[in-house]
Structures are given as structure tokens and as C-alpha cells.
Structure 1
Amino acid sequence: MTHAVGVDFGTTTTLLAEGRAGRLPTVFPAGLRGTSYVPSLVGVAADGSIRVAEAASDLPPDRVRRSIKRAITHGETELSLADFTVSVEEGIRALLTELAVRARGDVELQPGAVRLGCPAMWTGPQRKRLLDIARTSGLPVDDHTLVDEPVAAGVAWVNHRMTATRSAVKGQLLVFDMGGGTLDVAVLDVHAELGQVPEITVLSSWGVDEAGDALDDALARDLEGQLEEQGVVLGSLPNPDGVRSALRQAAIEAKERLSTALDTTVAVRFPGLDLPVLTLSREQLEVAFAPQLERARALVLIVMKGAQVTHEIAKSPAEIRAMQQSSLAQEVDYVLLAGGMGRVPAVAQLMGDIFPAAEISADAGVPSDEAIVAGLAETMSYERINLHRPPFHFVLEYQGEDGAVAHQSVYEAYSPFYAPHLALQRSVLYFEWRPGRNDLPRRGLGYLRVFTAGGEPVRIAIEGEEDHGLKVRFGNSPPAVLIYPNGRVLIIDGKGERTAFMVPRWPVIRGKDHAVLYVKKAADTRTPDLGSPWMKDPLFLH
């Protein structure tokens, strides 16, 4: 690409960057108060009109929704702001429209060139919801230009490191992307040669809905406790919710100062109140942060375990289960700290404890909270990126009893293959689809077809020859489809016969009419319950 634009709709802030071939991406100064970012705020004025960004920050706290992005994560449909109700779509659309208006005339928002980021933990419906909102706000995006945030941060780091060192980058990169609302952890397998498009494969990825906001809340509770010790009980004040909102904003500002200072004073400002000056230390921050960091450590372990089953040449189940944190960490060569929370010293200390031999960096050529938007604005092609799970739908197509073509969903794009805790309990992980006994015909033939997340058909080439899809014969028993993180697809048809295929990992399919998924036949049709030499492990025998 000669030109690319990245939009990072974040929980706390929203950023926009532009990249051109031969130049590093630059962050567009979208903020109106000397900042590069737009605050991700949505509010309602006294007349009922919607206010966003800086204008929303001037409204009373009870008429402002912070972290509006979390509404998609939580599946909310409406925002209750004082006496007003606003739909989530309406609020986010107003924010993204404001961003597009500010960029217009300075940034070329061309179709196909605008990439939008989203958390790796988001499902297909959550991604579609954001895309639908963004498209109606003046941002020309579609499912082909929606990119997982830790992948974008990894792309920014890889390109920056090659440019800075003039050397290739090969090995496993763990991205620890902690922003305001979510923590995404991903293990990327990187093969990047100078002068070539990097090939990046997501070996494992998972996220949780707990990040910087949770620490802000914990620090705000600490400050509220200090006020009570000095005789100020928020419940007895005229507007306790408003004071708590002001207290939380003061905690956010203090957290930022404590990234470089060991202690700081906290002045809570609220109209009509003269509140005492409080203090916070980095030690207090780390105590408040400690339980969350332990949960983050557990998530890192889950993702590293999950990466083991993605390799095409995998260890045996017993070997994988026996791997402890130290041996898993030895396989990680690089660690990238992305997101605004990457600046918190306790985060770097945690990564140093887990990965003593890895190269740990928060430098992607930009501040850690700009790594995602910089990666989105890279002009490099994203076609050589493979994901941990299919970014497309599998649909079984067949002729129904009435003679019409019928469809049954087998796998929905971006659906998780397994619950995260299973990565610690099992060493064989996969997605399994088994329909009801009467859901399909007992005679005839169907085809397992592929569609992009946007619903466009994808042609399938089996051993280089295009076909309608992967054949599924019907019979007296319901068929089954098993899909694995390493690209393996096992079909057990209605007659009990097994056919296995291999996809070269799970590629990000770009384009429309020319989209093709390349598949190879595989000789190994075993499943964990067969007790084959590789699978002889009582834990996995049904």
C-alpha cells in the first residue's frame, strides 16, 4: 500500500494516524487541547443533545459516560445519563463522526486504506457492531480492514525494530497490550526479513475485560478511604456520585504521574467543596495493582500454553502439560508492552519476572499507547498475517427436502475454540460441531463452504484445484466437524468416514471476488479419543 490510515478507538482515548510508503506513520493531532488524542467520552447536555470528546468532559459527571467502548464489550444497548437515555450506537457514532470531521481535509480517508482496531477477545458479533457504527460515521471500513489490536502493535514493533537495527526479526513475540478497558495477550510467531513483507502468525491470543480502568477504580477507593479518615464521608455530601467521579479523575492523573515519580499529592476539585489534599505513592499503587497483576500473570500462562498446541509440529500432550512457566517463557524471544498501562513500572517488572531471558521493550517507535494506531497505519500488506482462529465462517450447504439450497452454520468467524482455563487443563484443544440427529438429511451430499466475516463467498482450492467446498456425505449418523488452532479441519461424515484437511494456519483473507482459501489434504485423521501413539494420554480419552 502507498497510503494507510489507522483508527484506534480506545477505551480511554481515540487516536488517528496516517502512513505513507517510505515513511514512518505519524499520529494526527486530533485533540483540541494540545493532545494527539480524542477523549473517548460521550455525554448529554441539558437540552438533550449529545456531546463527545472534550465537550463532554465539561459536562456534570452524571451526564458523561467514560470508557464508551466497554458498552460493546458488555453488550449494552443504552446509556443512562442523568434524566436522558442514549443508544450505544448513537453515542459511539457521534464520537467517531467527530474524529472523521476533524481529520477531513488533512487526512485522506479513502476506502480500503482505513484500518480500524478492536480487542482480540471480541467475537464476530461485537466486531460487526463496531464496523456498522464506524461505516455510518464517515469512516470507510469493512471486515477486511478490521485488525486485532495486539497484532497491530506487533506490526509496529517489528517494522520499527528492523528499521532501527537494520536486521531481520525472527522468533516468538509476546504482546502484552493493557489499555483502559481490556488486557489482550498474544503470542506471535514472526519471520521478518529486510526488504520483505513480514509474515506474522498468531499462535495464541486471549483477553480479559480488566485493565487500566480497574486500577483507576482501586486507586479512587484508596483516596475515598483517605477522605473518610479525615472525616469526609462521601455518602453525606450533596452529590456523592459527582464527587466520586472527580475522585476517579484525580486518581487517573495521579497514576500517570506515578509512572515517573515515587509519590504525588492529589487535589480533588469539585464545585462548592473544599476537600483536603491527599497523597498517593507508587508503593500504594503497586499494592492496589497487585491482585490484578496476578490475574494478568495467569492470563500470560494461559496464552503461552495455548501457543504450544498451535505449532504444526507439536509436543505430545504429556510434554505440554508438564511445561511450567519457566520452560514456556524460554520459547518467547521478545516481549512488547503496548497500551497506556505499559508505562506503569509494575507492568515492566511483572514481564521481567516472567521472561528473564527475553528482550522486553515498550518502544515501537512511538509511545506505548500509540503502538496500536501506528501499526494500523503501516503501509505494509496485512495479507501475510495468520490468526489463532478463523476470521471467516464455515457453513454447511446442502439441498433440503423441498429441493431448495439450505445452509447450516458450523463455525462463526472469530469464535473462540475453547474456554481459556482449558489451556491449562488440556493439551489438545479444538472446536467441535455436531448437529442434532434430525437436523440434516440422511442421504446425499453437502459442502462445507467458507464465507468472509462480511458474508462474501470465498473460493476453496484443494491441492491447487478449486472446488465447491469440502465434501460432507450424509448418512444414518450426524456428521461432525472438528477445527484446530493449527489449521487442521477434520470431517467425520454421516457414514463414519474421516477426512482431514490442513489450512496454512488461519489466514486473514483480504479482497472480495478474488478471495481463495488454499487447503491441503492430510493423512492423519485421528482424534483425541482414538488413543493413537501421539494421543495416548488418559486425560484426553473419552
Structure 2
Amino acid sequence: MTDSRVYGIDLGTTYTCIAHVDDLSGRPHITPNDAGELTTPSVVLFEDAETRVVGREAKNIAVMEAENVVEMIKREMGKPEWRREFFGHRYSPEEISSYILRKVVDDTERHEGTRPHKVVVTCPAYFGIPQREATAAAGRIAGLDVLEVINEPTAAAIAYGAQHPEDQVVLVYDLGGGTFDVTVIDIKDSAITVVATDGAHELGGRNWDEELVKFAAGQWQAEHPGAGTDPLDSPETVQDLWLRAERAKWSLSSMAQTKVAVTHDGQQVTVPLTREKFNDLTQYLLDSTMSLTRQVMETARELGYPKIDLILLVGGSTKMPQVTARLEAEFSLEVKSFEPDQAVAKGAAIYGQKLAVGERVRTEIGKKLDRAPEQVDVAAAPEKVRMAAEELVASDMGLRLGTVQYLSGMVVRNVVSHSFGVIALTADDTEVISNLVLAQQALPAEATRTFGIRHSGMGAVELRIFENTSREAVVKDLDTGEQVGVAMLELASDLPADSPVDVVFRLDNEGRLTVTGRDRSVGGKEVTAVIETNRALSAEQVAVAIKHANSIRILG
């Protein structure tokens, strides 16, 4: 293995997976955990002040020891108010997520003999700035160098495109254990271009399991009407039901019917469950995914992509037959399952290796052309220079030349998943969000808008930056957005009303936002809005968390 290897980590709501690109074959491979499983449950047990148990063992006792176990932590990423206290210490979502990352990294080190350091971590496409920053912070707390946080559907498309490079427009339907993403992606000429995306952060296979838990518990009560007790009030019963519900769901993926045993208060009831009944119980959940899918397809049409060639299924929950059947019936398109548990991690690994290879190729070309690497455009470099650089990089990194050429030539273009605007006043002094960058706009993006100050002699104006999901230029309902940044712009003295102020929004390829305000008067000042970190950990808090993490032992 080379020191330049970059790992891809699918940090999932219910399961986590780590992958790398094999040096010789150029193909991505999943590294199994200590139990030989290709995925690790994203569940953390706080056994004592210094010990965390991560994975299957923690999952098996999650409800019985609910006071010491954290599940579904991904749904809490970016929430500043969320903390759980264990053994006198309050833990953030980033810290808890870091234990999951450390578990898969520890297992990889034991399996391969070398500890992963550089990684690309995935997140849902609809994650905003705070959630993405929180994901990166979790990696840093785990001792990792997080090169990028990329969208899960994009990663899946990268993995798919590596095996199926023909030109096509695919809709990635990503139904995981706790989240749902739907994304239209154009694969063409070794380029992966995201067209439109949307999702729901509290919709996933876990919701299907919950319906089975409630149904089975209700059947027990129906059989024991005078028991005076509810199975859902017993942690032991509920723990057992969650595990049995998940197993029943998977059984129904291959069988028409199964049974769920409910043991409570010394009484057992065997509940028969058909696939038809399961589909009826969960139809409203599937309806929600169909609605989001239609919305994204409509957005893609508006953006010039009227035709979808294929619906690509990723995420473990797409194994349920109801998903394929419903998609085929709704949209009359080919539906194809593609490594639902592994595609995201594999795509992240391919992208990570692309970053490593790309950096080396630019460096070598820069040496030949006497330029700094960041000034090198690989595609525009003389062919002989580029080929010589690729051959050298392949030799130095121990990679096949074809792998280096493929990764060096790969282009990934993303879109911003949210709109970003600034608070402005209408003629009647009503506050609205004036969106400068709209959701589904290609990255990187830059937009400038000129506003007039409301009153003469204001002295300063406050720039309040809002993130929202509307694609309208003006949003009247402020409750649909969320403030993500603020800055005060000092103004020249005695400016008259309506004096111009420029606001510039810039988003880089990863969706990181910088906002600049500029007083256009002679000698006017400029200010840059700093995106608030109070919904994720600050640099100081991350440093404290890293120090605390050094005393923590990870088991599993």
C-alpha cells in the first residue's frame, strides 16, 4: 500500500462502510470490520468514562441500555443545542460520530497493517453548511485528514460511472437506513455532473422498521386485551422487537411472508406478516420518496434534462421489493440496483484517489512548465508533458497507468443543494430573503447584487445571510430559511438613502460560502461575512474534543 492512499467512508445513519482503491487493479474494495462484516452499525455504547463500544454489540443492546447508547446520530449533525451527557461529560454529535469513524479506521488498520489518515467522507446531498462542517469536524476529532465531504448520490454515481462509462442521465434513488436522497446526474465523457438534488433527513429504513414494531406490539395487545400492559413500554421487549422487525423486513425482500415473535410479560404471540401487509403499513413512507423523486425530475426538466435513462438504486433499504415495483410503475423507466450497501463508500474512495492523483499530476506538470501546482490546468497542458507526468505518478504511487489516466481525467461537477440570500427590505419595510444563489445552481457559483441603504446617515448595515430551499429570487416567509452568517458593514458617513451597497456571494466546489459586502461610495469599506459556527463545533471546541478523544478507548 502507498502512503498516498485515500480512503472513502460512507458515514451512514445506521451503518458505516470504508473503502479504498486497490493499487494494482484500480478497483475499489470494501475493508471488512473485525467481525468480517462489510458494514458496521453506526451505534455507540458509552460503557464507562473511557470506553466506547461501537457496532453490532452496541446495536444489540441499544434499547435495553438506552441511557448509555446513541443511535442515528447523523440526524443530529449541525445542531448546536444537541448534547448527551455520559459520566459527567456532555458530548456533541461530532464527537459521537468520531467514535464511529475511529472504529472503522481501527478495524482497517488491523486488517491492512497501516492506519488510514487521508479520507473523503460522504453526507446526504441536502446537507447544508453546518451539517457538512460538522461531518468534517467529526473526522478531525477522529484524527483524520478530511480532504472533502462529498454527496452520497454523487459518490454512488462515481462508482457506477467507473463501471458503466457510457453517456447517460441517471436518477440516483438513495434510500438508506435513516436518510433519503434523490439526485439526477449526467454521466458524459468521464464527467459526473449533478443536475438536481433533494432529500429528507428523517426518512429511511428505520421508519419502515418502526411501523413493524408498532404493528407487532399492537397484535400482542389484541391477543391479550386484559393484560393492562403495553409491549412498547418495556425496553427489553422493544429492543427485541426492533431486531426482529429489521430481520422480518429483510426476510420479506426474498419471501412472500414471515413471522414475528413478540414476547412480553411472560406471554408470546407469533404474528404472521405478509409482504402485502408490510407494504400497506409503509405505503405512506414510500409515497414521500415518490413525491420527492417527481419534484427532482421536474427540476431537472426545467434545467434542460427532460429524459432520464435509468433509475439507480443505492442504499440498503432499496433492497425492499416495494421500492423497485413502485418506481417502475410510477415512472416507466429501467430500475437497476447497484451495490446498495457499498456503492457510496466505493465512490468516495475513487474520488479520494482522484484527488491524490490529481494533486501529484499537477505537481509534476508544474515542474515541467515552471508553474505552481494550483496554476496548472491538466487538460490544457501539452499532451507529452501530461503523459510523462502521468507515467511518473503511476510509477511513484504504485498504480496502473490506466488508473492514473482515468482518475486524472475524471471531472466531478456538483450543484448547491440550498439557496442562499440576504435579508432585504421591501418598499413597505417588510423583511424578505433576497436569494442570490439558487438551489441546483452549478458549483462553483458567484453572484453579485446591489442594494440601496434604507435611510441616510445609517453608519452601518447588517448583512444577515440565510440558507433556504426555495428556488425563488425573493422569499417572503423567513421561517422557511435559517440564518447561517452575519456581518456588519461600516458605511461612509452621511450617505444619502438608497446609496449602493454590493453584496457578493461565492460558493466553492464543496459548497463553502463566503459573503462580501462593499460600500460603493468613494473610499467605502468592505467586510466579509463569517459563516456562524454555533451550529457546529468551533475550532477551539474541536481542539478540546481532540484532546478528550485521546483518552477514549474504542471497542467493538
Offset from partner CA, 1:265-293 (integer Å, 9 cap, x none)? 223578x8553333222111111121111
Offset from partner CA, 1:459-485 (integer Å, 9 cap, x none)? xxxxxxxxx99999569xxxxxxxxxx
| TM superposition shift of 1:452 | 4.1
Q: Which residue of 2 aligns with 1:483?
A: none
| TM superposition shift of 1:220 | 0.8
1:291-440 map, 5 Å: 291-311=284-304, 331-356=307-332, 358-363=333-338, 367-378=339-350, 379=353, 380=407, 383-387=411-415, 388-389=440-441, 408=463, 416-418=469-471
Q: Is the 8 A contact 1:12 1:39 kept in 2?
A: yes
| TM superposition shift of 1:147 | 0.7
- C-alpha distance in 2, partners of 1:190/1:265? 43
- Three-state SS of the structure 2 residue aligned to 1:33 is coil
Name the amino acid aligned to 2:46: V
Using CA pairs below 8 Å that are at least 6 residues apart, which structure has the higher relative contact order? 2
Q: Which residue of 1 aligns with 2:40?
A: 38
Q: Is the 8 A contact 2:182 2:197 kept in 1?
A: yes
- C-alpha distance in 2, partners of 1:216/1:238? 14
Against the structure 1 CA distance between its residues 234 and 15, is the aligned structure 2 distance closer, same or farther, given a 3 Å change threshold?
farther
- C-alpha distance in 2, partners of 1:262/1:348? 16
Against the structure 1 CA distance between its residues 4 and 359, is the aligned structure 2 distance closer, same or farther, given a 3 Å change threshold?
farther
- C-alpha distance in 2, partners of 1:263/1:339? 23
Q: Is the 8 A contact 1:447 1:472 kept in 2?
A: no
- Three-state SS of the structure 2 residue aligned to 1:104 is helix
Q: Any unmatched runs of 5+ in structure 1? A: 163-167, 193-197, 315-327, 423-430, 459-467, 476-542
Against the structure 1 CA distance between its residues 94 and 470, is the aligned structure 2 distance closer, same or farther, given a 3 Å change threshold?
closer
Q: Which residue of 1 aligns with 2:209?
A: 216
Q: Which residue of 2 aligns with 1:231?
A: 224
| TM superposition shift of 1:109 | 5.8
- C-alpha distance in 1, partners of 2:283/2:513? 48
- Three-state SS of the structure 2 residue aligned to 1:275 is strand
Match of 1:283 among 276, 279, 282: 276
| TM superposition shift of 1:52 | 2.1
Match of 1:51 among 50, 53, 69: 53
Larger mean Cα displacement after TM superposition, 272-281 or 373-382: 272-281
Offset from partner CA, 1:82-140 (integer Å, 9 cap, x none)? 999643333222222222222226276666x5211000111101110111111110221
| TM superposition shift of 1:334 | 1.0
Match of 1:141 among 124, 141, 146: 146
Q: Is the 8 A contact 2:489 2:518 kept in 1?
A: no
Match of 2:159 among 156, 159, 162: 156
Q: Which residue of 2 aligns with 1:79?
A: 84
Q: Is the 8 A contact 1:234 1:243 kept in 2?
A: no
Q: Any unmatched runs of 5+ in structure 2? A: 354-406, 416-439, 476-481, 523-556
- Is the counterpart of residue 250 in structure 1 residue 247 in structure 2? no
Q: Which residue of 2 aligns with 1:16?
A: 18
| TM superposition shift of 1:200 | 2.0
- C-alpha distance in 2, partners of 1:160/1:45? 43
TM-score of the aligned structures, taking structure 2 as reference length: 0.64
RMSD: 4.3
Against the structure 1 CA distance between its residues 107 and 118, is the aligned structure 2 distance closer, same or farther, given a 3 Å change threshold?
farther
Percent identity over the alignment? 24
Q: How many residues align?
A: 413
Against the structure 1 CA distance between its residues 437 and 8, is the aligned structure 2 distance closer, same or farther, given a 3 Å change threshold?
closer
- Three-state SS of the structure 2 residue aligned to 1:306 is helix
Offset from partner CA, 1:284-335 (integer Å, 9 cap, x none)? 1111121111121111111111113333xx9xxxxxxxxxxxxx6xx11111
Q: Which residue of 1 aligns with 2:382?
A: none
- C-alpha distance in 2, partners of 1:456/1:161? 31
Against the structure 1 CA distance between its residues 34 and 104, is the aligned structure 2 distance closer, same or farther, given a 3 Å change threshold?
closer
- Three-state SS of the structure 1 residue aligned to 2:217 is helix
Against the structure 1 CA distance between its residues 69 and 98, is the aligned structure 2 distance closer, same or farther, given a 3 Å change threshold?
same
Q: Is the 8 A contact 2:22 2:29 kept in 1?
A: no
Q: Which residue of 2 aligns with 1:448?
A: 504
More helix, by proportion: 2
Offset from partner CA, 1:25-54 (integer Å, 9 cap, x none)? 111002x33311111001233678533223
Q: Which residue of 2 aligns with 1:259?
A: 253
Against the structure 1 CA distance between its residues 474 and 354, is the aligned structure 2 distance closer, same or farther, given a 3 Å change threshold?
farther
